[in-house]
Amino acid sequence: MDPQESRDKAQEIKRYLTELKELCAVYETQNWPQQMIDGDFGSRDSVRSTFPDMYERIIALKQAIESNLPSGYEMGGDLIRHLSWLQICDVADIYLRDVDAELKRIKRFESQLVLVEYVAGLHPKVAVVKTLVLEGNYDAALKAVYSQLEARIRMITKDGAGTSIKASLAKAFKPDGCLKHSREEYNEPARDYLIGVLTYFRSQISHQELPPNRNTLDSCLSLFAVAHEAFLLVDRCEAESGSQEI
């Protein structure tokens, strides 16, 4: 999904939440004694019969929110539960706590969209995983990106999976190889950089889950940036050597 579309949906959700809080303000204006809230008067059926217009609009807002949730966004459990039960005590919780908590959650989500747009602006082979990133599936996104990088190098060198990536790159950057930097003295650094990137991928990403301290978008952005630079380097070296992608 396009990050801008998610941002537009987030704005819609905020409008629905603001209206929801205004509707639930009936709790404060009525000033019911606690025993009325705890008794039959506070039941869902009682809310429906006593405040039919409010009840129907809350149900409509619940459906509107659920059908317009941006990709990668999850509502808070308290709001979901209270909208489902919708007794007077739930109306009170929605008004006093849930809406404000959800608005803070939306604000954090909107901040995350800025980072997603950064990923979307990287090399096309990296940007292609922006939907996974938007959904918060950073582990799968990184595995896809670095697998594509390794596959691209193997496609250029025409080596199969049985050949180590280190051997493939060592062969590719030889004088008669298929990858060449525009400045000859940079061939070895370019080769070593790509070997280092893909060795890290195999040891830290390919065969294990992201550790908790890395499993957030702001924490793993550097890994997407490294992949971006690696793809650009491969593109430049392939163009310089005159090799053609199959």
pLDDT digits (tens, 9 = 90+) for 167-189: 999 999 998 899 999 999 999 99
Residues 190-208: tens digit of each pLDDT = 999 999 999 999 888 888 8
Highest mean pLDDT among 22-36, 68-82, 185-199: 185-199
At 31 the pLDDT is 59
Torsion of CA 187, 205, 138, 155, to 10 degrees: 50
Residue ranges in the chain assigned as alpha helix (H): 3-24, 26-30, 34-38, 44-50, 52-67, 77-85, 88-93, 99-120, 124-127, 130-134, 138-157, 165-172, 187-200, 217-241
Listed by start position, the domains of the chain span 3-113, 124-241
Q: Answer yes or no: are the C-beta atoms of 70 and 6 closer than 8 Å.
A: yes
User: Is the pLDDT reported for residue 164 higher than 70?
Assistant: yes
